[in-house]
Every structure is written in C-alpha cells, then in structure tokens.
Amino acid sequence: MILKTENLSHKYSSNWAIRDINIEIAEAGIIGLLGSNGAGKSTTMNIICGTLNQTEGNVFINDIDVRKHPMEAKKQIGFLPQTPPLYTDLTIDEYLVYCAELRLMDKTKIKAAVAEVKERCGIAHFSSRLINNLSGGYRQRVGIAQAILHKPKLVVMDEPTNGLDPNQMIEARKLIREIAEEHTVLFSSHVLSEVNLLCREVIMIEGGRIVFSDSMDAFNSYAQSNAVIIRMVNPPATADILKVNGVTEVNFLSDKQARVFFEGNEDEITARLVAASVAGGWGLKEINLEKGVLDEVFKQLSNTGG
C-alpha cells in the first residue's frame, strides 16, 4: 500500500480541522483531493508528509508508519506545497543539489539525479540561472523537480497549477501526467476542472470529513457542468467567441470576464479557447469551470453523506 491513513484527525485549539480521514492508495496514477478552501485538504497533506503531527490516527507511506519512522517514511515522499519552497538567490543547479543533500541522497548519485529531473521538467537550459529570474511557470517546474528528485513512491502536490496562466497550466498538467506514469500523485485542488482533467479517482473533503471517494466517472455523475468562466485582457466581440467549435452561448459578466457555455469535453473546449485567444489576441488570463457547479456538488454530497 503506497498510502494508507487510518481515522486521521486533527484539531487546532478546540476545533477539529479534519475528522476520521481514511484513504488507501495502492498504485501509481493521479488521485485528486478535492475540496473548497478551508475544507481540510492542506491539513491532511501536511500530516501525510510529516510536517504536522496529527491529533489522532495513523499514516503509512509504503507500509512505513510516518510517526514512528519519520526519516524512513519521508524518503518515500515528494512534496510540492502551494507555494514552492524555493531559495530564489540560488541557481537551479545549486538549489537542486541542496535539496538532494537535505534528503541524504548518495553523493555519488546526486549529479546524475539532478541532470535527470532538469531534463524531465524542461529546465535544463536554465541550469545556471537564478531562480529569482525565472517566470512563475518555470519556478513551478523547479518546485516539481525537487519533489521527484529522489524518486519517491508518493508525490503530494498542493494546488500545483494555482496562479499559472492558461498556457503554463497546460504544460504543468502534461508534466504531472508524465510523473504519474511512475509515481503515485496526490493532487489537491479546489477547482473541479483541474481534478476532472487530471485524475482517475477523487477524494472529496468538506467540513474536515470525506464526503466522496470513488472514480472520476462516478463523481461526474454528480457534476454535470457545461460552462466555464474566462477572464481576458482584450476581450473580443461575443460573435468571435461563438465561432469557437463547441461554444453554444456567451454571457459577459463584466468588461473582462465572460461565462462560456459549451457542448462536449471541457479539456477540448479549454484548448480551443486558448488557441483562439492566441490567434485573436484576447489575452486570456484565466479559465475555470463555473464555481457555482462545484458548490452544488458539495451541497449534494454533504446532504447525502457521500
């Protein structure tokens, strides 16, 4: 079992942040940890990664008890927090070597491991550049590189596409899918579209408790959405957006923001809208599944008890 939690619970002061979280993951792939802001996702991930001691319950990584054997368990974990833990005054090479040493990697293997993750994450051509001089997308790639440097069994990513522009998000998703071919990825997000695009299974936490745990297909039976919200710097005319294949209706919510209704696969419509933005100079800054849909899913699942 790559990851197992038993009745995982934690409270801050007198308030329970999470209660009786039971998770079992036995194989590689991407598992979504979905929930609204404040639902308990970050608390759960911090405990799993050993950066926070739980109040009750147990965590096992590759059958190793995290509380009893933290050093051995952490060797099996790669962690990308919501804000990547970067030292911006170091170059990429300096930073990755430092991370390898922190993880007590065999010194004779560090050079090759650093070269491998740089190539895999598409940052080799910036090896000598200060992290401070990298774009947000490339900083995220460096954060992902440190998380997989030591070839962990479990890679935990907290909102890894948050703050990226649409093109950077597409690149980050591609990289995460490649990583999941060899590793188990626990992917946290409050954005339904991100989980839907990437994950084969989803665990949904609301109010500190698991309210759903099943396949993405089963989850989608609750979440039938046909609209995305887009934000643009130079919005085109409504007619230009309607020309995108699959778009059925467009409602502008403000001068820069529109609700776009569509038919078909959301991944495909996202790619088409990004391409149309590039071709037409819309300056697309953000694209997300309509937030109200996720709220409705939370309401349904919470009322039914999962």
pTM of this prediction exceeds 0.85 = no
Q: What is the pLDDT at residue 306? A: 46
What is the token pair recorded at 228?
Answer: 């995305």
- 249 and 107 share one domain: no
Indicate if 183 and 37 belong to the same structural domain.
yes
Question: Is the same domain home to 148 and 131?
Answer: yes
pLDDT score for 194 = 82
Q: Give the residues of the chain that fall short of pLDDT 70.
A: 220-225, 291-306
The conformational region for residue 12 under phi > 0 = left, psi -120 to 50 = alpha, else beta, is: beta
- Give bridge partners of residue 232 from the DSSP assignment: 284
| Side-chain-facing half-sphere of 300: CA atoms under 13 Å | 14
Q: How many domains does the chain have?
A: 2
Q: How far apart are CA 213 and CA 201, in angstroms?
A: 8
Domain residue limits at 244:
227-289
Rounded CA separation 179/29 (Å): 9
Say yes or no: 276 and 167 in one domain: no
Neighbours of 3 (CB within 10 A): 21
Secondary-structure percent of the chain, ordered helix, strand, coil, rounded to 5: 40, 30, 35
Instruction: Measure the CA–CA gap between 202 and 246, rounded to whole angstroms.
Output: 27
Q: DSSP string spanning 181-232?
A: TTSEEEEEES-HHHHHHH-SEEEEEETTEEEEEEEHHHHHTT----EEEEEE
- Could you tell me the CATH number of the domain that includes residue 178? 3.40.50.300
pLDDT given at position 293:
57
Residue 21 contacts by C-beta under 8 Å, 6 or more apart in sequence?
5, 7, 8, 9, 40, 44, 57, 205, 209, 210
Q: Are residues 42 and 166 in the same domain?
A: yes
Instruction: Say yes or no: 182 and 49 in one domain.
Output: yes
Are 231 and 292 contacting, i.e. CB atoms less than 8 angstroms apart?
A: no
Residue 32: in which H helix or E strand, if any? strand 29-34
Question: At a CB cut-off of 8 Å and minimum separation 6, what does 112 contact?
Answer: none
Same domain flag for 214 and 231: no
186 close to 27: Cβ distance less than 8 angstroms: no
Which CATH number fits the domain that encloses residue 282? 3.30.70.100
| Structure token digits, residue 86 | 């970067």
CA 177 to chain centre: 11
> Does 299 fall in a domain?
no
Domain membership flag for residue 274: yes
| Amino acid 299: pLDDT | 64
Where a domain ends, among 220, 238, 262?
220
pLDDT in the model for residue 266: 80
Does the residue 83 lie in any domain? Answer: yes
**How far is CA 152 from each of CA 92, 256, 301, 304, rounded to the nearest angstrom?**
20, 42, 33, 37
- Supply 250's token pair: 């467009």
